Amino acid sequence: MQYLDSFTLPSADAEDSYILNYPHTLEMQCYDHNNVYPFKIFPPKQLRQLDFTPITIFYGSNGSGKSTLLNIIAQKLKLKRSAPFNNTPFMTDYLKRCTPGFTFGRNAPEGSRIITSDDVFDFLLDIRSINEGVDRRREQLFEEYDSFNDPNAPHWQMRTLDDYEELKRRNEARGRTKSVYVSRRLPKELTSKSNGESAYVYFTQEIKENALYLLDEPENSLSAKLQNDLVQFIEDSVRFYRCQFILSTHSPFLLAMKGAKIYDLDSVPVVERDWTELGNVRVYYEFFRSHMAEFER
């Protein structure tokens, strides 16, 4: 599915005109008077208009503008976001000079959002915080189990119906091993997942049907296998759940997605390339080719 057809950035002339005439009150809000971010980033790359497909990828080295492009699009479309981004006093005026082109209507569908590495990291911190609580609960359950099975403990007797739950716990503790007793009372789905597995779950939970999603380097924290799983999830979301994706990535697994349009932001001017032509992918290719004999033993 395709919701966003195109996105036009300010021309070099429009940027120059603004920079020569912008309100000087904005200077007072900036630490660096030479920094008018996000102005002056894309004219040197001769990038003016982006045309999208159901899966569009921004590729480039660090500092090439991948994340900046995603943030500009997300802010112009007023997409939902969780984590803060590199905003400046000039962003509002820059966005006024950007023009999105939609397949139909004037807005992205409800539920559309941008997901960044910071969103995933914050989610992992939340999980860690929960797991710390789980660890404390585990110790409490160990102590509870030992107290229920302590032959020297004072005799316990059920006196009212309010004691019924404790009676059930005591009977279970006497009939099961400590590990079984404790594990039955802990949330396994939280304690058994690695950071990478939790990050993958985050994407599958946050991405719904019928929406536009901007993903900033989603491969972070994911193993090669989970990156392939994410590729399949994205392709299925496009094919079956009417989603559109615009993402930035270095990952050869994501770059190889079927039908993806790839913009090479390392090139001047910015051009479309096949994934096999990209510098980062060629590094992987040359590395494995140089070690081919070791794979063939």
Mean pLDDT along residues 147-167: 80
For 203-258, write each residue's pLDDT tens digit: 998 899 999 999 999 998 899 999 999 999 999 999 999 999 999 999 999 999 99
For 139-150, write each residue's pLDDT tens digit: 777 788 888 888
| Residue 31: pLDDT band with limits 50, 70, 90 | very low
Judge contact between 123 and 194, C-beta under 8 A.
no
User: Which domains are seen in the chain, by residue range?
Assistant: 4-117+208-295 (3.40.50), 120-191 (no CATH)
For 100-145, write each residue's pLDDT tens digit: 999 988 899 999 999 988 888 777 666 655 555 566 666 777 788 8
Share of the chain above pLDDT 70, in %: 86
pLDDT at 28: 52
Residue 125 vs residue 48, higher pLDDT: 48
Six token digits for residue 288: 């494995």
Mean pLDDT along residues 186-206: 71
Residues 6 or more apart in contact with residue 275 via CB below 8 angstroms: 252, 255, 256, 260, 262, 281
Report the predicted TM-score, pTM, of the whole model to 2 decimal places.
0.77
For 37-47, write each residue's pLDDT tens digit: 899 999 999 99
Residue 31 vs residue 105, higher pLDDT: 105
Average pLDDT, the chain: 85
pLDDT at 230: 95
For 53-65, write each residue's pLDDT tens digit: 999 999 998 889 9
Residue 80 vs residue 168, higher pLDDT: 80
